[in-house]
Structure 1
Amino acid sequence: MKPVVSALNAWSCIVVSVFAIVILSIIGSLFSREHHAMVGSTEDPVDGKAVAGSIFGAVVIYGVFLVFCGFQAFLHMRESRRGAISLS
């Protein structure tokens, strides 16, 4: 199987996905616990658990991106070990 995206794009996607998963997980956990920094103001959302559900949905999507890009990076590494010549 050949990679769909370039190696640079695959590794960039991995870095961004890991960073997003970590940051969004922290923010989602703060909303799910209804931490006063997240829901303590009158301008903040009333239902912190609903917001946390949306944020954890984004974490799942970034997890899918991470798996896809990790597979693409694996394909690039496997292809480079075989001595394949890349024209692009």
Structure 2
Amino acid sequence: MKPLVGAMQAWSCFVISVFAIIILSILGILFKGNHPELVGGEEDPKNGEEVAATVFIAVMIYAGFLVFCGLQGLLHLRESRRGAIAL
């Protein structure tokens, strides 16, 4: 099976996805707990749990990117070990 994206793009997407999952998970936990810094003002969201659900959906999307990009990176590693010529 041939990779769909380049090696650099696959590993960059992998690293960005890891950081996005960490940061968004922390934000989701804070919104779920109705942290006053995030839901305390007049212009802030009224229901932190609804916002947390949306943030956790974004975490799931980034988890999908993480799996896809990680598999693409592994395909590049497998190709390079077989002696394929990189263009």
The TM-score by the shorter chain falls in which range?
Answer: over 0.9
User: Per-residue deviation at 1:22?
Assistant: 0.3
Point out where structure 2 has 5 or more consecutive residues left out of the alignment: none
User: Per-residue deviation at 1:57?
Assistant: 0.2
Counterparts of 1:45 and 1:85 in 2: how far apart (Å)?
A: 53
Alignment partner of 1:13: what SS?
helix
Counterparts of 1:25 and 1:18 in 2: how far apart (Å)?
A: 11
Structure 1 residues 54-65: aligned runs within 5 Å: 54-65=54-65
Q: TM-score, normalized by length of structure 2?
A: 0.98
Number of residue equivalences: 87
Alignment partner, residue 80 of structure 1 = 80
Alignment partner of 2:84: what SS?
coil
Point out where structure 1 has 5 or more consecutive residues left out of the alignment: none
Counterparts of 1:6 and 1:69 in 2: how far apart (Å)?
A: 10
- What is the CA RMSD across the aligned residues, in angstroms? 0.5
Displaced runs of 4+ in structure 1, greater than 2 A? none
Q: Deviations over 1:4-60 (max 9, x none)?
A: 000000000001100100000000000000000110111100000000000000000
Q: TM-score, normalized by length of structure 1?
A: 0.97
Alignment partner, residue 3 of structure 1 = 3
Counterparts of 2:70 and 2:45 in 1: how far apart (Å)?
A: 35
Give aligned-pair identity as a percent.
61
Q: Which amino acid aligns with 2:20?
A: A
Alignment partner, residue 46 of structure 2 = 46
Counterparts of 1:15 and 1:41 in 2: how far apart (Å)?
A: 34
Alignment partner of 1:76: what SS?
helix
